[in-house]
Amino acid sequence: MYFKDIIGQKDIKRRLIESAQRNVVPHAQLFCGQNGAGAFSLAFAYARYLNCTNRSDTDACGKCPSCFKFDEAAHPDLHFVFPIVSKKEKKKEVCDDYLPEWRGFLKEHIYFNIDNWLERMDAGNSQAIIYSKESDEIIRKLSLKIYEATYRILLVWLPEKLHQTCANKLLKIIEEPPQHTVILMASEEPDTVLGTILSRAQRLNIRPIENEDIIGALIENEMIERKYAEEIAHLSTGNYLRALELISVDEENNYFLEQFKEMMRNSWARNVKGMKILADSLAGIGRERQKNFLEYCQHLIRENFMYRFQSDELNYMNRKESEFAIKFAPYVNERNVFELMEELAKADRHISQNVNAKMVFFDLSLRITVFIRR
């Protein structure tokens, strides 16, 4: 990943490049942005630029020994921390045990999310976290002598996934890392990062990608017509990963839409048997997909509420969703929209806390029954 590979984000690129050129490099930085905006990719490109021995005013050279090693994500002074699923029977308990998969993954993806990585790990229904054991590995790595680079880099993807024990052990090293050590963290949910970590890192907010930048990238990389690119860019809301998903046949989205329809129909009809069947079905799709579904439900409730204003620039639904909204939107109004959103957000929190999924979805359907007829 080079700066040139990252779509848009001109201001933040310029800021990072100037930081390196002036040799004013904060020892701990937190890149915050949605997964399709490029927070991790920017952090990686910055790490490469810091250690490039022949960098230009716009990017790393791509030809020096450091860049060659960064191409393989195998520089001896570059260390990664990322969420994993512990598999003791396969002796996969810390991040380094997944390095072959991780390096291959990074070579294939510039923009990615936790679902993409879970699929690469063959995680099944398991949730990925950064285990407490990782803290000892990090401390050990950062205590080693720098091999050849100007900076030793620790690149942490999703610090919000840090086990609390691990996070607490790292506070001192984040506040006072060894000399010439830079800790770069990329977060999609910075509000859930441990507050004591937030207070020790300089925060960089990565904005959603500008529509025109996404349009240009889609035309160049995906070879699609401008009119279609404009539609996709609008629906993507600054998330290039989302834009790519919208181009492909999005079976997951279609599945979520059908489940949402079924949930609303059951609640409207007070079909308790249907609610139980749906809860059983959703309980079997895995925690991460359950959370994605609930986020999708919140998206549809919000968009159906906005649909009533008949303003195209406020509509972020695809064609199938818009067709459904013609009939469903009248049932989302000022009298129930806040309660519906609150119940969906509460269910999302409960899923994150490993509450029994059948109970969560059944209870959610019952509560929607109260609000949907208002």
Q: What is the pLDDT of residue 298?
A: 94
The whole-angstrom separation of Cα 157 and Cα 187 is 7
Q: What is the pLDDT of residue 79?
A: 94
Q: b/e for 44-70, b at 16 or more Cβ within 10 A? A: bbbbbbbbbeebeeebbebeeebbebb
Contact 184, 41 (CB under 8 A): no
Does 312 have pLDDT greater than 70? Answer: no
pLDDT, tens digit, 9 for 90 and up, residues 314-341: 677 777 888 898 899 999 999 999 999 9
Residue 242, both tokens: 């989302």
pLDDT, tens digit, 9 for 90 and up, residues 18-32: 999 999 899 999 999
Does 311 have pLDDT greater than 70? Answer: no
Does 128 have pLDDT greater than 60? Answer: yes
Partner residues linked to 302 by β-bridges: none
Residue in the block written with tokens 């993806």: 109
The whole-angstrom separation of Cα 276 and Cα 266 is 10
pLDDT, tens digit, 9 for 90 and up, residues 63-112: 999 999 999 999 999 999 999 998 877 778 899 999 999 999 999 999 99
Contact 102, 173 (CB under 8 A): no
The pLDDT of 170-195, averaged and rounded, is 90
pLDDT, averaged across the chain: 90
Contacts of 249 (CB under 8 A, 6+ apart): none
* Percentage, residues of the chain above pLDDT 90: 59
pLDDT, tens digit, 9 for 90 and up, residues 262-295: 999 999 999 999 999 999 999 998 888 899 899 9
CA angle, corner 168, sides to 122 and 185, nearest 5? 60
Q: What is the pLDDT of residue 19?
A: 93
User: Do the bridges between strand 202-205 and strand 28-32 make them parallel or antiparallel, or are there none, so unpaired?
Assistant: parallel
Which band of pLDDT confidence, cut at 50, 70 and 90, is reported for residue 35? confident
Cα–Cα separations (whole angstroms), residue 238 to 33, 118, 278: 10, 23, 33
